[in-house]
């Protein structure tokens, strides 16, 4: 006889010897406390609603002790986390130590001590280290183009000599200075050039057998005065020819054009009005270098004047014979 039979109640923890193979019996329904059910029982609203709507309120099956429990699932061990090297925390700066306030009355006055002068430190001589010069290779230098020489410059005039066919009579003068008197008019302006023009002209006259006593040199201020002096000398009829020498170099103003043009036309007018040959030995250049390269034109002007004087003599002689 079990404890259940004795007491009339269910004991789930009763040791019957057949656990866990015995089936557990559900416990008997427990009567709720209160008055018994019957026609005389009070109206139960909840029970009335359950019956009205026919709702199944059967309780769930009781828990059976003989049911097998699920085996516990082993959770995987978490991987160890390697902590990254943390930056070292900066050390806190030490707080400045503030000295305690000193009582001026309790302070002990110390005698004034002069600071000792530092001992002079002798500087040791420093010897400079020997520095070896690095080898420097000379850079290749390309030769600059050589400027063309004066002889290689393009010629200003067409070379050659005049060829006269046979048959017609030819009257041609020659630069012959025998028994002739010559007047030379030269400007003082640009004297560096006109001095050399005069020298070359005198050399050409002496080479043509003109004596120095037969030459008259007349200096004038500039090229603009050359025509006036040449005309005055030609009108005297004392000279076989007149040689005009001067130099005009172009500047920043149009002064060059006026002087050069008037001098050229005035010298031509003097020769036409007087009938005396007047040679044109006036240089009209852009630069001084061009003028210096043409100082030999003084000799050309002297020979041209002698040739024209000889030609005029032949013309007058022929006219007198045939007249």
What is the 3-state composition of the chain as percent helix, strand, coil, each rounded to the nearest 5? Answer: 30, 10, 60
Q: Are strands 182-187 and 215-220 parallel, antiparallel or unpaired?
A: parallel
pLDDT tens track for 57-116: 555 555 555 555 566 667 777 666 555 555 666 676 767 665 555 555 545 555 666 666
Return the pLDDT at 219. 96
* Catalytic entry in 48, 53, 157, 255: 255
Catalytic status, residue 48? no
- Say if pTM beats, i.e. exceeds, 0.75: no
DSSP state of 232: H
Residue 150 has a pLDDT of 43
d(CA 277, CA 313): 11
Which residues are paired to 200 by β-bridges? none
What the chain holds in terms of domains, given with CATH numbers, is: 182-322 (3.40.50.960)
**Residue 149: its pLDDT value, please?**
46
Can the peptide bond before residue 242 be classed as cis, meaning omega within 30 degrees of 0?
no
Alpha-helical (H) ranges within 145-240 are: 191-207, 226-235
**What pLDDT does residue 221 have?**
94
Q: Is 195 exposed, middle or buried (0-12, 13-18, 19+ CB in 10 A)?
A: middle
Please name the helix (run of DSSP H) or strand (run of DSSP E) that holds residue 33, with its range, or none.
none
* Residue 254 near residue 219 (C-beta atoms within 8 A): no
| Distance of alpha carbon 10 from alpha carbon 306, whole angstroms | 176
With b for 16 or more beta-carbon neighbours within 10 A and e for fewer, the 33-42 pattern comes to eeeeeeeeee
Question: Which residues, including other chains, have CB under 8 Å from residue 57's CB and lie 6 or more apart?
Answer: 50
CA–CA dist 184, 186 (Å, integer): 6
Q: Which two tokens stand for residue 283?
A: 């240089």
d(CA 239, CA 183) in angstroms, rounded, equals 6
Cβ-contact 41, 35 below 8 angstroms: yes
Q: Which residues of the chain have pLDDT under 50?
A: 2-5, 55, 106, 147-151
Q: What is the structure's pLDDT at 306?
A: 95
DSSP-derived pairing of the beta strands 215-220 and 278-285: unpaired
């Amino acid at each position: 006889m079990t404890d259940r039979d004795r007491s009339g109640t269910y004991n789930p923890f009763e040791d019957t010897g057949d656990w866990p193979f015995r089936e557990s019996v559900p416990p008997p329904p427990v009567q709720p406390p209160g008055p018994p059910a019957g026609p005389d029982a009070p109206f139960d609203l909840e029970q009335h609603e359950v019956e009205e709507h026919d709702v199944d309120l059967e309780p769930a099956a009781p828990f059976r002790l003989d049911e097998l429990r699920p085996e516990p699932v082993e959770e995987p061990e978490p991987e160890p986390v390697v902590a990254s090297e943390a930056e070292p925390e900066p050390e806190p700066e030490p707080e400045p130590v503030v000295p305690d306030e000193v009582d001026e009355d309790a302070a002990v006055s110390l005698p004034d001590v002069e600071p000792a002068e530092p001992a002079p430190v002798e500087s040791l001589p420093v010897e400079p280290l020997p520095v070896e010069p690095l080898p420097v290779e000379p850079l290749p230098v390309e030769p600059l183009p050589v400027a063309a020489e004066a002889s290689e410059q393009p010629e200003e005039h067409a070379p050659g000599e005049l060829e006269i066919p046979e048959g017609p009579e030819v009257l041609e003068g020659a630069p012959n200075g025998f028994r002739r008197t010559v007047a030379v008019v030269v400007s003082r302006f640009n004297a560096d050039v006109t001095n050399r023009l005069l020298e070359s002209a005198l050399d050409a006259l002496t080479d043509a057998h003109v004596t120095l006593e037969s030459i008259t040199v007349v200096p004038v201020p500039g090229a603009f005065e050359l025509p006036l002096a040449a005309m005055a000398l030609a009108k005297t009829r004392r000279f076989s020819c007149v040689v005009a020498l001067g130099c005009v170099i172009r500047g920043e103003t149009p002064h060059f054009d006026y002087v050069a043009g008037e001098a050229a036309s005035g010298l031509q007018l003097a020769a036409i009005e007087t009938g005396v040959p007047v040679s044109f030995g006036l240089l009209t250049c852009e630069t001084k270098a061009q003028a210096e390269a043409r100082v030999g034109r003084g000799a050309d002007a002297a020979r041209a004047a002698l040739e024209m004087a000889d030609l005029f003599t032949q013309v007058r002689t022929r006219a007198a014979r045939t007249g």
